[in-house]
Amino acid sequence: MYLRKRALDRLAKEKVLYERRQGGDIQLCVVYPNVYRLAMANLGFQAVFHIFESDPRVAADRAFLPDPDEREVIRRRDERIVSFEHGRPLSEFDILAFSISFETDYLNVVSLLRMAGIPLRRSERAGGGYPLIIAGGSAIFLNPEPIADFIDLFLIGEGEEMVPEFLARFYEAREMEPRERIRELARIEGAYLPDYFTPAYDRSGRLESIQYSGPGKPTVSRRMIRDLNRFRTASLILTEESVFGDMFLVEASRGCQWGCRFCAAGFMYRPIRYRSARSELPEALSGLNERKVIGLVGAEMASVPGVAAIAEAVAERGGRLSPSSLKADCITPRLAAALARNGNRSVTIAPEAGSERMRKVINKNLSEGEILQAADLMVGEGVENLKFYFMIGLPEERDEDVLEIGRLVGKILERARLNKKPVGRVTISLNPFVPKPWTPFQWDPMEDARRIKDKVALLRANVGRLGAVELDAESPRVAYFQTMVSRGDRRVGRILEILDATGCEGPGEIWRELARLRREPVEGIPDPDFFVTRVYGHDEVLPWDFIDHHIHKWFLLSERKKAHYEHQSKPCDVTRCTVCGAC
């Protein structure tokens, strides 16, 4: 009763911005493997739920990771989690569709299956009587292998076309025997059936080969939408409990033209695609009927075509535009003025690295002068609070590069003082480098957690001299776990099972259990450091190599070599360049 009451209260406070359908024959639950307030801030989750719910053949529901107090109730009462809309046990659905945006939520996938009373491993469900368990989302695009033993079928790529194809194929095959049905579903382009792929390891524990037993080629082609304007991606369900509860969210682009060598979004979503201002502006203006703040979503927003005009139009109607992140050299006086209108007092700028040398290493294509000019523009237009996003522990980084972060921020503050433009709160957001699949740095390790702590302490002491500057540093323990699941193979699934079985939830508990696994090895499971702090060989088979992202591996290697020599590459030119293979 306690858990159901909270769900009903949340449902009553939601505002649904589309007409909901009566359900069909397919009982389907879309599961976000994290808590409600994070799920409802995720446009991908909202979009895929809407696609499922709009199909007349489907009776769609939602489910989320219970809040911490709810999980305690479930443990104490030995209850099963139920769906959000109708309070049904998850085991009663025909399909559970996991929407996974972040690899760190892979552990929550395991926990949710356990809390639903569903056997974790696909092999344990082979006898039937359980839902078909599928998964998709941006984390899956990169590396699904850590949860490959728990999922029946993955949909790799953007879902606007793939999900309707899946539903049509499932409807046609619903009377088939389960084994035949899953093989029929695996014929969809972008579908990944783990049963067809068997990893083999050498004596050192490295992945030696991936043996394929299915039809056709031993690769899975990532699906993508060429024209984003064909589909609407904006807030569909509003709730103030969302982490962006005061915003109406509008997707502006997918991908990024700049090619930063650490950034997964800049490679897995290639080629860069923008929504046209013609479709984006009406979406933003209609959102003002619901919220006064329009959140513009994408990898980098200052280079979005027509963004200044959108910001001006929103401001003229009494609202304000809040872009996710801005590249400093793309901030124009017009954009700065439009963002500062109607009380927009905070802006995030992402230099990523403090020194000119490191920005060349990561291919940021951004000079110190351009960063200073962007800060001058924003402060000059009345933006009081500045947030700067930096990374630490990047390949080729030295201590002097870390100290350059403090020097750069200090120079910004000094210029504001000389220009008599007061700066309110200045925040340095510092995040340890996490190597991601399908980037030029996928072969590079995460730096040792103790070394990162030392660098953070060095910078904190340096920044302390600047006065009112807040340093917000993400724990390297969190980054360690993220790296393990980002670069891991199927054996990481066993580690996730152990973490779930021992009740690990927060970063501290996860770190302690991983430390125990390093001290007390379990047969068949590599030391977690094997995935985190080891340089992967150029000739090594990578766990995610079977996915075809249409990017040449030699291109990624050449970009990694350029990083070593501090050479930059030009931004993507999708009209003429075909070098990387994505166009």
Return all residues near 302 (Cβ < 8 A) that are at least 6 apart: 323, 326, 327, 328, 330, 331, 335
The pLDDT score that the predictor gives to residue 344 is 67
Beta strand segments in 242-345, E: 247-251, 253-254, 273-274, 293-297, 320-323
**Residue type for 124, please?**
E
575, with CB counted inside 10 A (0-12, 13-18, 19+), is exposed
SS3 435: coil
Closest CA to 135 of 207, 44, 230: 44
The pLDDT score that the predictor gives to residue 40 is 97
Cα distance between residue 216 and residue 197, in whole Å? 13
pLDDT at 353 over 70: yes
pLDDT at 120 over 90: yes
pLDDT digits (tens, 9 = 90+) for 128-148: 789 999 999 999 999 999 999
pLDDT digits (tens, 9 = 90+) for 220-244: 999 999 999 999 899 999 999 999 9
The CA-atom distances, in angstroms, between 206 and each of 14, 218, 434 are 48, 20, 20
Question: Please, are residues 557 and 564 in contact by the beta-carbon 8 Å criterion?
Answer: no
Cα distance between residue 375 and residue 378, in whole Å? 5
The model's confidence at residue 357, banded by pLDDT at 50, 70 and 90, is very high
The model's confidence at residue 1, banded by pLDDT at 50, 70 and 90, is low
Domains and CATH numbers, the chain: 2-217 (3.40.50.280)
Name which of 34-38, 272-276, 423-427 the model is least confident about. 423-427
219, with CB counted inside 10 A (0-12, 13-18, 19+), is middle
The pLDDT score that the predictor gives to residue 232 is 87
pLDDT at 484 over 70: yes
The model's confidence at residue 446, banded by pLDDT at 50, 70 and 90, is very high
What is the percentage of the chain residues whose pLDDT exceeds 70?
99
The pLDDT score that the predictor gives to residue 27 is 97
Cα distance between residue 425 and residue 352, in whole Å? 19
The model's confidence at residue 4, banded by pLDDT at 50, 70 and 90, is confident
SS3 148: coil
pLDDT at 16 over 90: yes
Cα distance between residue 162 and residue 167, in whole Å? 9
Pairing of strands 15-16, 237-238: antiparallel
pLDDT at 3 over 70: yes
Q: List beta partners, residue 133.
A: 96
Closest CA to 220 of 199, 192, 185: 192
CA atoms within 13 A on the CB side of 165: 17
pLDDT digits (tens, 9 = 90+) for 536-570: 999 999 999 999 999 999 999 999 999 999 999 99
